[in-house]
Amino acid sequence: MFDKAASAGALSGVAQVLAEQPFDTVKVRLQSRALAFDAYESPTTLIKHTYKREGLRAFYQGITPRLATYSAVKASLFALFERFHELTGSTVVAGGLAGMTGQFMRFFA
């Protein structure tokens, strides 16, 4: 069960990054131009301008590090949840312990 949980977690991390990366790119570009004289009027204007000048790939620049870290974090979180659920029999306790252990590991990593 551990392998299946870790695999599902890794895939969920990949899906999360693929879904949110374009939004994060737009947010960062808007924030970096907020005080500039030629700031964009709206997110829609930025999206159209970026797509026209740089194409779809522009929204996924810098995705590799996020894919690696998010998939690893989610894999460990799912695997920890499964293990704690086997030990405690409680979904709530297992979720809490998995989240707490994951945060602890990230703090000291």
pTM for this entry: 0.79
For the chain, the average pLDDT equals: 89
Tell me which amino acid residue 104 is: F
d(CA 73, CA 92): 20
pLDDT digits (tens, 9 = 90+) for 12-28: 999 999 999 999 999 99
DSSP character at residue 108: H
Structure tokens at 95: 């979720």
Residue ranges of alpha helices (H) inside the chain are: 2-32, 43-54, 63-88, 91-108
Return the domain boundaries, the chain: 2-108
Confidence of residue 32 (pLDDT cuts 50, 70, 90): confident
pLDDT of residue 36: 65
